[in-house]
Structure 1
Amino acid sequence: MNYLSFNVKRCRLLGGNDNIISKSSGIAYYMHRDQRVQDNWAFVYSQDLAVKHNLPLYVLAGFNVKHPENPEGTRRAIDFTIGGLKEVEKECTELGIQFHMFKDHHVPMFERILKFIKETSVRCIVADFSPLHPHRNQMNELAKRLDSSSCLLQVDAHNIVPVWEASKKDEPRATEMRNQIMPQFDEYFTEFPRIKNHPTKVLDPLPAVNWEEIRNSVTVDETVQSCEWAKPGTSHGMQHLKRFLTEGLHIYNEKRNIPTVDAISNLSPWFHSGQVSAQRAVIEVKKFEEQYPKSVYKFVDEAVVWSEMSDNFCFYNDNYDKLSGAPQWAQDTLNEHRSDKREYVYTKEQFEKAQTHDNLWNAAQIQLRDEGKMHGFMRMYWAKKILEWSENPDEAIAIALYLNDHYSLDGADSNGFAGVMWSIAGVHDPPKWGERPVYGKIRYMSYNGCKGKFDIFEYIKKYQSGDAASAPQGGLHKYYKGADPKQKGQGSGRVQGSWGGGKQ
């Protein structure tokens, strides 16, 4: 098996002693963020180690901590994960690789992995990478408990350029990130080796996973149901990629920011879950470079620079989900305007039910609620209006993250955190915007500005609901009762695209 294309800089030792690998009874890949067999550098590395040492290969998976306000998760998110992992189990079985689904969902993941090590004597664990606190905390706890008889290795299988190689610090803007990442792009942008039939089998294989039992064992919010358009699993994600290549790529550069035109890939649910590799998508898109050079360039910029900048932000900024994680100029300007009077103030529940005075904002929230995804252009408008209509910026960030993580198939993701913080708290933006109430110097967007970009009434007509249409308009009307956002203080807006990575 030839794994010469695996770059060892994708891997780092988190804990224990990697000299003990030959003494382990197997290699176990803990699959968290990258739920696929092929096109997966963590899987490639795990099989490489197992073949080199003539060891069986295990894949471990399990449910993890969700958004703090939604520890039970949603039916939408859980079923998407289960659907992807069912494909993984099937392919692992066909390749002679043991798949193990952890139960005991309320037990911390590091404890479940430690128990597996004790019961199997599999002392080498390979984990994929996430920059978010829940996963990093579990890996840190596991690493602290491993002695010299075990080891924990981590592979960044999500980014083309590993996050710890792309940059050594939180990059302030896309220009700086682009200058850091693109000179390294060719080094890491290689074709994936195939995962093949594994030569060394597990002596006592576990029975097949009872997926219906797993599904019923997790308490979730059943009101947030699965979305018909987005079927889980790598096979469905690859179908969407092929459709985009034939139907959307040729107009991507010109029309990706028009919510009423189907010009984007809509791959973010599969990217988020790791069921499709962003690197695979870029490989396929770049095959059209001569035909559609501008669209290919822009897609690569979104999928590599902007998306990997989101991982960079969450990896190097411990406060990626709160105002204290914003640049100092943004904290200062938002705090200076913290007490500004708001024309409208809504509760989290009113936002959630799309009960604002703004029919465009309501339509965006309904799209998120019903389809599990909002068009990337609308996400920025949606988040900025939450800032404008919340009691303070801290509450706005919390509400936007709650809604995004609870309803979106690509929620609880670095792109979501960076997108909310960009829209509300000026992350990755320069301090060059004109000052206005509530926003301070944060970039502004308006209803009338959106009207100048696309046919908002076509979009509104598509996303209407009885609840939103019949709701009392104007929220609490805390200050300027009866104010019309289309008439008062809206301006022309300064829109330069939707938040990075999320528009995919």
Structure 2
Amino acid sequence: MRNKRIRLIQEGVDGEGPVIYWMNRDQRADDNWALLLSQDFAIRHKRKFFVVFCFTPIYLQASYRAYHFMLSNFKEVESKLSLLNIPFILLEGEASSALPQFIHKSKASTLFTDFNPLRIKKEWLDQLKRNINIPIYEVDAHNIVPCWEASPKKEYSAHTFRPKILKKIADFLISFPPLKFHPFNEDSISSKISPESLLRKYKYLKQEIPKFLQKPGYVSGMEQLQRFIHTKLHLYNEYRNDPTKDCLSDLSPFLHFGQISSQRVALTINEYAKNNNKVKAQSDIFLEELIIRKELADNFCFYTPDYDSLNGLPDWGQKTLNEHREDKREFLYSLENLEKSNTHDPLWNACQKDMIFYGKLHGWLRMYWAKKILEWSRSPEEALKNAIYLNDAYEIDGRDPNGYTGIAWSIGGLHDRPWPERKVFGKVRYMNYKGAERKFHVKQYIDEIIATAINDQH
């Protein structure tokens, strides 16, 4: 296999049984290179082809809202695949245990899976390798430029990463071939587990559904993309750092769960901007976030096994935080007080409530929110731990390289540079309430969140 999106991660005994695509990070039937390339392999070898998803009941800090958004998408995935004679099998349990059983039972010959740089997926793969002896291929269907192709090492910043992406993107930002009707699945096979039954079976905490949340799935995600392009894109550059202006794409939940493809988003925006000079500059700025910044986050997690600890921070960030760990903190807040939005800072409290009510937080506010946790924590380790917990539990797009990277940037200077030294932060960039007031109408934002809270109580 010469396609640069694919890498062989285990050699093995190749038989005549079915080819399996273990769907994990890219949960869609459309525009999915892992699905397309695994089916192509199955067709060329005239084999049966199944798509399998392993439902993990406990995944990092994921709460009901994340599971609901994820599982509600699978009816659409199953329906689209069934029209093409491709079974979608929902297995219950971690892949390291549920998948080997299915592979042995089905006498599968080859396993494909999509790429995920997080440590938990690597651990599952390591366990799988000990339990199955068939070839395993990994396909990066999430990034436009495959992570291992973009750079062979951890990049220092967007400045060092950008030219490497731009050099290769023309080779990868191409149109998708269609998924085909699969001719070799003679006898039908179906999943005996329904997504709804899994939601009912496990009693997750925080069972409220965020207010803003769109219907999940590819169709809904592409509709949201069209709304962004036609009603918000022209405002993106001017207002993207203002939380009181509704000009962001709101695509992050769909991108996080792989319900839509970054590549499809980029192709669609490029096509629109090609015929509309007024939004060309706006689209370039948006694509910088979608491609450079997003894929830089994957680069960080892929090449940094301890991406969620102080050891994952740049050397200068670790050094300056250690030099200031004994500095006196004016305020200290426990995780319980943070979670309940119980601090002296009305803007921070509004940010936390925003996450609770809407399941998302504006990008600029996420930086402010995380930096204040550092300022009010007994140690940088405690700050990292609490910020990651709150982000992963409440943000629909938590448990994600973007989240870990953003928190590491905010707390430890990742992908940033040293700034003038100050208490607690050392040389890590500082943000404060007055700086927020220079950016946007802070009182308006706080009032809107308070109004949401009051309405929610009634």
Q: Which range, TM-score by smaller chain?
A: over 0.9
- Between the aligned partners of 1:101 and 1:307, the Cα distance in structure 2 is 29
Aligned-pair identity (%) = 40
Structure 2 partner of 1:82: 71
Shift of 1:179: 1.6
Write the letter of the residue equivalent to 1:50: A
Question: Counterpart of 2:447?
Answer: 461
**Post-superposition shift, 1:136?**
1.1
Cα deviation, residue 324, structure 1: 1.0
Contact 2:90/2:191 (<8 A) preserved: no
Per the alignment, residue 8 of structure 1 pairs with 3
Structure with more of its chain in helix, by fraction: 2
| Structure 2 counterpart of 1:100 | 89
Separation (CA, whole Å) in 1 of partners of 2:85 and 2:132: 28
Match of 1:44 among 36, 51, 56: 36
- Paired with 2:312 and 2:188, the residues of 1 have a C-alpha distance of 49
Q: For 1:143 and 1:347, how far apart are their aligned partners in 2?
A: 41
How far did 1:225 drift? 3.0
| Residue-by-residue CA offset, 1:72-114 (whole Å, 9 max, x unaligned) | x3110111110112211111111110110002x3xx3122111
Residue in 2 that maps onto 1:430: 417
Aligned to 1:473: none
Contact 2:118/2:401 (CA < 8 Å) preserved in 1?
yes
**What's 1:480 paired with?**
none
Question: CA shift at 1:46, angstroms?
Answer: 1.1
Structure 1's unaligned 5+ residue stretches are: 1-5, 469-504
Find the partner of 1:259 among 224, 243, 254.
Answer: 243
**Do structure 1's residue 162 and structure 2's residue 146 form an aligned pair?**
yes
Does 1:319 pair with 2:290?
Answer: no
Following TM superposition, by how much is the alpha carbon of 1:196 offset from its aligned partner in structure 2, in angstroms?
2.3
Identify unmatched segments of 5+ residues in structure 2.
none
Give the 5 Å matches for 1:17-166: 17=12, 20=14, 23-64=15-56, 66=58, 68=60, 70=61, 73-103=62-92, 105=93, 108-147=94-133, 150-166=134-150
1:440 paired with 2:432, answer no
Does the alignment pair 1:330 with 2:317? yes
Deviations 1:232-286 (A, max 9, x none): 1111111110100101111111111111111110100000000010111111111
Please report how far the alpha carbon of residue 157 of structure 1 lies from its aligned counterpart in structure 2 after TM superposition. Answer: 0.3
How many residues align? The count is 451
Instruction: Within 5 Å, give how 1:472-483 maps onto structure 2.
Output: none
1:483 is matched with which residue? none
Aligned residues of 1:224 and 1:407 also touching (Cα < 8 A): no
Query: Deviation of residue 67 (structure 1)?
Result: 5.4
Cα RMSD, aligned residues only = 1.8
Q: CA offset at residue 300 of structure 1?
A: 1.1
Whether contact under 8 Å (1:74, 1:225) holds in the other structure is no
What is residue 485 of structure 1 aligned with on the other side? Answer: none
Contact 2:57 2:202 in 1 (8 A): no
| Structure 1: distance between partners of 2:115 and 2:385 | 25
Matches of 1:291 and 1:427, distance apart in 2: 34
Contact 2:173 2:263 in 1 (8 A): yes
* Aligned-residue offset at 1:151: 1.1
* TM score, norm. by length of structure 2: 0.95
Post-superposition offset of 1:143? 2.0
- Name the CA distance, whole Å, in 2 between partners of 1:214 and 1:412: 20
CA distance change for structure 1 residues 200 and 466 in 2, over 3 Å: closer, same or farther? closer
Q: 1:217 to 1:417 in 2, by over 3 A?
A: same
2:238 partner amino acid:
E
Does residue 452 of the first structure (1) align with residue 458 of the second (2)? no
Q: TM-score, normalised by structure 1?
A: 0.86
Alignment of 1:276-291 (within 5 A): 276-287=260-271, 288-289=273-274, 290-291=277-278
SS in 2 for 1:101: strand
Equivalent residue for 2:390? Answer: 403
